[in-house]
Amino acid sequence: MTIALILLVVGVFLSAFFSGSETGFYRASRVRIVIAGLDGDRVSQFLLKLINNPTLFVATTLIGNNVANYLTSLAIVLITKNATDSSAAEMLAPIMMSPMLFVYGELLPKNLFYQSPNSLLRFAAPAFLVFTCLFAPVAAVLWGMGRLLESILGQSPERIRLTLARKEVQQVLEEGMEAGLLHPTQRHLGQSFFLVASKPVSEFCMPASRIQSIQMESTRDQALRFARQKKFSDLIVYQGSKKTNFVGFVRTVDLLVSPETATLKDVMHQLKEIKSTELFGEAIMQMQADRETVRIVVGPQGNTVGLLLIDQLTDPLLNGPLGSLQR
């Protein structure tokens, strides 16, 4: 009877352990696991390996649940035989025990891991590592079959290291605001960035035909007069008779502090190129890092598509609740 009770407790515990771990595995925040892993936390590094190899995790969980079910069934049969010789009791005992096993072996642990996935998964990770090694021979067969199917179907699980899903980063922003670490303005700014980060700059640039530029042969006074009329801080300079033949740009502030005899060529800055397929996120980071306010956008054939002003990149970030910041 004692051995049967021990088997029952072990079986219920294993069922709860693997059922809860499975929920925690899919519920846990990958952002936190990646950050902790980069900081050298061994538990998080092990969890990251499991996330990058979900077939191994599923195989270990599947084997563990089967072992738990077998031990539980065996324990119930042994307890029933010790209590009575009735064959009817042996048939009814598993049915009578099912509600208890469902509550304590499935429902309760899944609820607990659902409510606190990261902390409980970290607590369970060392034991799961032991079971992973213990079930390795059988899990290796299942893992190999899974990899074979992935190669046949041409699909593989998404691997994460430093690359994180956009949805998860947005979840972190929301959690940060709820915890009081972020202001709502910061969250809105982050969400606005995610909406446009993957769009090409060709959607934001000003077409070359619409750009108001000034000829390079213009005098300093003409350029300043043009800047006052158009209220431009940067003047696009073209050369020759073709107004889309852009050769550089001039900052109005440089004209103001330059000598009266200075020419546009003396204070002109070179226009750097950016491909029309470049993504919004990369473009705004490059221009901010280089402290640039304007770049020329070129197409796949090297033709001029238009001009990209820094304001055209910041305006989409300040839409909606952040519109007041533009004033």
Element (H, E) at 111: helix 108-115
Q: What is the DSSP letter of 56?
A: H
Q: Which residue type is seen at 237? A: V
Angle formed by the axes of helices 42-52 and 117-134, nearest 10°: 70
What's the confidence (pLDDT) of residue 177? Answer: 62
The answer to whether the CB of 305 falls within 8 A of the CB of 276 is: yes
Q: What is the DSSP letter of 322?
A: G
**CA dist., res. 125 & res. 264, Å (int):** 67
What's the confidence (pLDDT) of residue 327? Answer: 47
Phi-psi region of 50 (alpha: psi -120 to 50; beta: other; left: phi over 0): alpha
What's the confidence (pLDDT) of residue 87? Answer: 66
Note the residue count of the chain.
327
What's the confidence (pLDDT) of residue 160? Answer: 44
Residues of the chain below pLDDT 70? 1, 83, 85-91, 94, 149-150, 153-182, 319-327
What's the confidence (pLDDT) of residue 159? Answer: 45
Please write the tens of the pLDDT for every residue from 273-297: 888 888 888 888 888 888 888 888 8
What's the confidence (pLDDT) of residue 180? Answer: 62
What's the confidence (pLDDT) of residue 72? Answer: 85
**CA dist., res. 113 & res. 133, Å (int):** 23
Kindly list the domain boundaries of the chain, sorted by start residue: 2-153, 166-196, 201-326
Q: Which numeric CATH code is attached to 201-326?
A: 3.10.580.10
**CA dist., res. 179 & res. 298, Å (int):** 44
